Amino acid sequence: MMKDNTISAEPLRMRLEDRVRETARLRQLSFHTEKAYWSWTRQYILFHQKRHPEKLGPADVRAFLSHLVRDRRVAISTQRQALNALVFLYEAVLGRAAGDFSGFDRPTRPARLPDVLSRSEVGRLLDCLDGTPLLITRLLYGAGLRVSEGVRLRIQDVDFDGGTLRVRDGKGKKDRMTVLPQLVREPLREHIERLRELFAKDRAQQLAGVHLPDALGAKYPHAGVSWEWQWLFPSREVSLDPRTELKRRHHLTEETLQRFIREAAKRARIDKRVTPHVLRHSFATHLLESGTDIRTVQDLLGHADVATTMIYTHVMNRLGVGVRSPLDA
C-alpha cells in the first residue's frame, strides 16, 4: 500500500499552518523563511504519524533531528534550519518552552574550501553575458553580493556620488555598505533611465506598489509607488503577491539569474561549478590577493566574525609564489 504523505486532518492543517504563517508575518520573517518553517513543521508531524506537536516533546524533536542525519543525510545547514523551525514552532507559535533536546545526532562539517574563479575565468564568464544579466553579474562579483542581495537592490540603494551600494536586510537582517564598481556606473545609470519608462507604465496601469520591507508598507502606504523604492532589477512580468494577492511587479528571481550564470559558464568552457555565490567567493579572494586588509573585506562581505573571512586566505595563490614544483625541476 502506498504511504500517505498528506495531513488529512483538515482542522489541524488549517489551524496550525495558519498560526505558523501568521506568527512568521508578525515576526516580520521573509516569505521564504515562512514557507521553510511550515515545511519543516509539516515534515515533523508526518514523521511522528501525524501527531499534533502539542502532544510531542523534546525526545520527539531529538528523534526527528537525528533522523535527518542518519536516514536523509542532510547537511549541517539543513539540520540547523529544521532546528530553528521547531524552536520557532514551540516557542513563538505554541507559546511553550521547546525543552532540552540536546544530544541529537549532528552531521560533521567537511573541511571544504570555497570554489573560486580565477580573474581570467571571471572575464570569460562576463564575456558570455549581456544586457541585464551581465550588469547584475558584474555587481555580484564587483561588490561581493549574495544573489538574494543583488536581485533585491532598489533604486535608492545606489549612490553614484559616493561610489557605494547599500545592502538592505542582508543575512542576519543586517544592512551594510559595499563598493560600487567604477566599471558598472555608466551602464547602471543608463539602466536606471530605461526603468523610468517601465515605472510610468506600471503607474498608468495602477498596479500595486512594490513590496516594502518590514512594516514600512503600513507606516508609509504610498511608498511602494514612489520611484526610489522600485526594484533595480524588476521582473519583466507582473505577478500576484502570495501574501496579499495583489497584482504587482516583483524583482528578478534568484533562479532566473542562476540559470543565466550557469549557461554562461558552459559557453565560457569553465570546468568548475559556477554559481552566483562563487562570484562572491572570488570577490573576497581577489581583494585579499591584491593586498586589501582582511577587516575591510569582512565589512564589505558583512561577516559578523573575521574567522569566517579567514577561509579565503586558504584559497589564495600564496603557496605558489616563489615555490617551484620538483617536477618542473
User: In the numeric block, which cell numbers belong to residue 267?
Assistant: 559557453
Catalytic residue, candidates 154, 280, 281, 286: 280
Q: Respond yes or no: is residue 286 known to be catalytic.
A: no
Phi first, then psi: give them for residue 138, nearest 5 degrees.
-60, -40
* Cα 261 to chain centroid, rounded: 16
Catalytic entry in 21, 146, 154, 281: 146
The distance in angstroms from the start CA to the end CA of the chain is 67
Tell me if residue 248 is catalytic: no
- Let me know: does 19 contact 55? Beta carbons within 8 Å: no
User: How far is it, in rounded angstroms, from Cα 280 to Cα 283?
Assistant: 5
Query: Among this protein's residues, is 295 annotated catalytic?
Result: no
The answer to whether residue 312 is catalytic is yes
Q: What is the DSSP string of 122-176?
A: HHHHHHT--HHHHHHHHHHHHHT--HHHHHT-BGGGEETTTTEEEEPS-TTS--E
Of the residues 13, 106, 166, 171, only one is catalytic, namely 171
Q: DSSP for 172-212?
A: TS--EEEE--HHHHHHHHHHHHHHHHHHHHHHHTTPPPPP-
Catalytic residue among 44, 90, 141, 312: 312
Does the active-site annotation cover 67? no
**90 flagged as catalytic:** no
Could you list the active site residues? 146, 171, 277, 280, 303, 312
